[in-house]
Structure 1
Amino acid sequence: LSLGVPAGTWLGAAVGWRLAFWIMSGLTVLLIAWVLAKVPDFPGAAHHERLPFRHVLDMPGVRSVLGVVMAWMLAHNVLYTYIVPFVTPAGLAGQADRILLLFGVAALIGIWLTSRTVDHALRLSVLLSLAIFAVVAGAFAIGSASPAVIMIGVTVWGLTFGGAATLLQTALADAAGDGADVALSMNVVAWNSAIAGGGLLGGALLDTWGATSFPWAVMALVAIGFLIAGKARSHGFPPGHRLGS
């Protein structure tokens, strides 16, 4: 997520998209071979040992975390999917690969920062990430024609996004307890639905109001995610050390 998109964008521009896809396909075959050779094959849970889907969904906090996943990732993908038309007014359309690389490097730093906070400040990390993302979106709304605003904003956005998967999956696993496997499968569905939904919503916004509407949509979606996380104090995103109890 952090480096693959900018690398693919650069590779497509350098050698053409067909060769880029052939390279990706070749790497995938190598990955499959490595998994078959090196990854141990552990047995799955028996059918009677699995918690029912509905039971897990009804666990306190699970829906709250999934709601934040949907709102946060929708907001992210509206902007990320259509990054080229968004940065065009700032004269950066030809530098999309560099902008995405900047985002990716910042996201990697965000992952490291999250590794330092996920256990003892998960709730605060989620709320801060969402709040800062909203501030970045506000800066984009005001200064989308400024290359400096775009570059600084993309960097800060990457920092807030890098740890999102770790924070949200950890919160979901904690909320689900013994139903973590089922809950995390829901997370995959929610995450990929948000990727698709972000593309659809972003396309509709682009056709109707143009790329300048993206930051406003992002702020609205992030505000929803922030409110959900803020209310999920007892279950979903409790304060304090997550292993304290």
Structure 2
Amino acid sequence: MPLALYALAIGGFGIGLTEFVIMGLLPEVGADFGVTPTVAGYLISGYALAVAVGGVGLTALLNRVDRKRALLLLMVLFIAGNLTSALAPTYEVMLAGRVLAALCHGAFFGIGAVLAAGLVPVHRKAAAISIMFAGLTTATVLGVPFGTFLGQAFGWRSTFWAITVIGVVAFAGIAALVPATKTAATSAVPAARGATSATEAAPSASAPSLRTELSAFRSTQVWFSLVATVLGFGGMFGGFTYIAFTLTEVSGFAATAVPWLLVLFGVGLFAGNIVGGRAADRNLGRTLLVLFALLTLVLSGFALVAHLKWAALVALLLMGFVGFATVPGLQMRIMDFAAKAPTLASGANIAAFNVGNALGAWAGGLGLAAGLGYTSPLWAGALITLVGLAVIAVAVRLRGGEYARPAPEPVQVL
């Protein structure tokens, strides 16, 4: 795989760390600024909302910009946001820093996924995307526990200083390793690295206009993909949002064990992301159908066996594995059906992941509020995923079964 994919993964690691590490530091941050836990929680919900806005808005604004340059601009935004958080004198400034960093989240993964897919042959596109998203999963497995420890040991601001440094490293990696892309088909094209002549590097087509990018949303299959993303991720997060309560109140684990149990969940995420990407490259439609069905079964099974510690551990690992194995395929599917103008649709799908997070948290909370017990969020997640399975099944059926994967336009290396 090209080294450029690993530079993108470093950026994804920093972004994932920014999104999730605040959960472990919320008590310290709230106490420092003298705000209630509910108000401190806006640092999480505000981030998620900004991700959804930036995933579509910034992607549209950067549509005509060379993808490498766009990613560098987004990393500057990321660095500025985390630097603001590290220096924030008030809660309001801290919230502004969180929002600023979040704006780059959706656009980075949306644009980065399109660029990553264009760096490899068509049969390895989903695997390439999974490498970029591996940075996000690594942040969950290793970054969040380490960031929480760092913040508790040296103050929460030290964590955001560390994330700022990661942003600088990612910027340097993207600048050095990610190839620039030509957006004008009529300009002269130098030979690509490794090519023996300029004729081996054919020029790419001009970048689609915003109107062309928006036209992708006329496709029914694009909307099927967006809805499937919301439901698939919503189902997993329906169970995951309240998993600490399930593990302590139903499984009987001590509260101090929860962070380490979440590492187990993160290991599942990391492995599922890689395996799901490879499977999606072989047969995208079938992979998504199988994974949605398995996720429904895993969530249901978890609810049934949560009272058994050993079974809860197995179910937690499987929930992470199957839940995140869907991500490369879901991202690849929308890019396939918006192949002539994939960038904005890709960014919209990243926003859909975050809408799914909110949907899952809301649905799981309904069960708890109704007094249905601490396994009710898992049942809610299973129901959401079951609806997602029906959506995927209808989408594949309308296409007459598995569909042919369109070849991407080549990325021009300068």
CA distance in 1, matches of 2:210, 2:140: 39
Deviations 1:50-87 (A, max 9, x none): 5152x311213111111110101111122223221121
CA distance in 1, matches of 2:402, 2:267: 29
Contact 1:117 1:125 in 2 (8 A): yes
- Residue in 2 that maps onto 1:68: 228
- Aligned partner (choices 382, 385, 398) of residue 219 of structure 1: 382
- Aligned partner (choices 184, 192, 214) of residue 346 of structure 2: 184
Which is higher, the Rg of structure 1 or of structure 2?
2
Q: Over aligned residues, Cα RMSD in angstroms?
A: 2.8
**TM-score normalised by structure 1 residue count:** 0.84
- Aligned partner (choices 211, 231, 238) of residue 78 of structure 1: 238
Question: Alpha carbons of 1:48 and 1:229: their partners in 2 closer, same or farther (altered >3 Å)?
Answer: closer
2:302 is the counterpart of 1:163 = no
CA distance in 2, matches of 1:108, 1:150: 19
- Residue in 1 that maps onto 2:165: 26
1:235 to partner: Cα distance:
5.2
**TM-score normalised by structure 2 residue count:** 0.53
Counterpart of 1:186, as a letter, is A
Deviates more, 1:233-242 or 1:112-121: 233-242
2:217 is the counterpart of 1:57 = yes
- Residue in 1 that maps onto 2:142: 7
1:231 to partner: Cα distance:
0.7
- Aligned partner (choices 88, 107, 125) of residue 248 of structure 2: 88
Identity %: 23
2:237 is the counterpart of 1:98 = no
CA distance in 2, matches of 1:73, 1:96: 22
1:40 to partner: Cα distance:
4.0
Question: Alpha carbons of 1:193 and 1:225: their partners in 2 closer, same or farther (altered >3 Å)?
Answer: same
CA distance in 2, matches of 1:128, 1:46: 35
Counterpart of 2:242, as a letter, is Y
Question: Alpha carbons of 1:22 and 1:206: their partners in 2 closer, same or farther (altered >3 Å)?
Answer: farther
Counterpart of 1:29, as a letter, is V
CA distance in 1, matches of 2:243, 2:260: 12
CA distance in 2, matches of 1:138, 1:169: 25
- Residue in 2 that maps onto 1:134: 296
1:37 to partner: Cα distance:
4.6
Question: Alpha carbons of 1:104 and 1:237: their partners in 2 closer, same or farther (altered >3 Å)?
Answer: farther
- Residue in 1 that maps onto 2:83: none
SS in 2 for 1:233: helix
Counterpart of 1:51, as a letter, is T
1:138 to partner: Cα distance:
1.3
Contact 2:368 2:374 in 1 (8 A): yes
SS in 2 for 1:211: coil
CA distance in 2, matches of 1:236, 1:24: 44
Contact 1:50 1:179 in 2 (8 A): no
2:391 is the counterpart of 1:228 = yes
Counterpart of 1:183, as a letter, is A
CA distance in 2, matches of 1:132, 1:243: 27
Question: Alpha carbons of 1:20 and 1:237: their partners in 2 closer, same or farther (altered >3 Å)?
Answer: farther
2:239 is the counterpart of 1:239 = no
Question: Alpha carbons of 1:143 and 1:48: their partners in 2 closer, same or farther (altered >3 Å)?
Answer: closer
Question: Alpha carbons of 1:215 and 1:199: their partners in 2 closer, same or farther (altered >3 Å)?
Answer: closer
Counterpart of 2:212, as a letter, is L
Question: Alpha carbons of 1:130 and 1:49: their partners in 2 closer, same or farther (altered >3 Å)?
Answer: closer
2:284 is the counterpart of 1:145 = no
Give unpaired runs (5+ residues) of structure 1.
none
Contact 1:119 1:243 in 2 (8 A): no
SS in 2 for 1:2: helix
Counterpart of 2:311, as a letter, is V
